[in-house]
Amino acid sequence: MIKKILISQPKPTSDKSPYYDIANQFGVELDFRPFFKIEGISSREFREQKVSLLAHTAVVFTSRHAIDNYFKLAKDLRITIPEDMKYFCLIETVALYIQKYVQYRKRKIFFGTTGKIDGLLPLMLKHKTEKFLVPLSDVHNDDIKDMLDAKNLKHTVCTMYRTVSNDFTEEEKQNFDYDMMIFFSPTGVKALKKNFPDFKQGDIKVAAFGPATAKEVDAQGLRLDLLAPNKDYPSMTGALKAFLEKNKK
């Protein structure tokens, strides 16, 4: 019987999250606890990359983390970002987040609709004279670099933040008694084994979101009990609800 579920994500900011509906419907206890966290690199580490923020006329933001760490580094380096800097964001929600640091209307902000770099390329090509800076995590592939190279867009890819394990306290380790765990990234699965080297799965159910996460579950020698998205359920909450209904019977 599944009574307590660990979800390796931050707690939802809205009370209307489907997770709370699931908790009420099935009488399960949900613990939201990220297994990793984002950490900005220091200004010294950034300088070692020999990248100048002011040598670029546009920035490509792939996430809110990229925005936070770009403006944090500018502050640490005592650099004033020019008023005419252009910002290109993967999606509108990322673009709107820039308001945390600059006035939205006064800036030149562009965003794609697909959530992927190829959806942003047509807008970037309209501004092909710009020199683009692309801040990324320490773990990234060359997809963005290769696409921008193929279109002959002047750009610099740099690291501004890293993903690190969000280690469990001794008290958390002692109270680690879950019937199910839900992972959303390979990093989260690796962090489980880092925090609990002797972890034995036994009857604990493991769910994974996305094929890369599922692959890491297998690589760590764990049994995968639920994969989302699947042909019936595009979301983890939908798949979890169906899984719990089946488990109840």
Please name each of the domains of the chain with its CATH number. Answer: 4-35+178-248 (3.40.50.10090), 39-163 (3.40.50.10090)
DSSP state of 100: G
Place of tokens 């089946």: 246
Among 93, 76, 90, CA closest to 118: 90
Q: Is the pTM of this model over 0.85?
A: no
| Alpha helical stretches, state H, the chain | 18-26, 43-48, 64-76, 92-97, 117-125, 143-150, 170-174, 186-195, 211-219, 236-248
- Do residues 189 and 183 lie in contact, with contact meaning Cβ atoms separated by under 8 Å? yes
**What's the CA gap between 82 and 99, in Å, rounded?**
15
How would you write the pLDDT of the chain (249 residues) with one tens digit per residue? 899 999 999 898 788 899 999 999 999 999 999 988 889 999 999 999 999 999 999 999 999 999 999 999 999 999 999 989 999 999 898 999 999 998 876 568 999 988 888 889 999 999 999 999 999 998 788 889 999 999 999 999 999 999 887 888 888 888 889 999 999 989 899 989 888 999 999 999 999 999 999 999 999 999 999 999 988 998 999 999 999 999 887
Edge-to-edge strand ranges of the sheet holding 226-228: 29-32, 4-7, 180-183, 205-209, 226-228
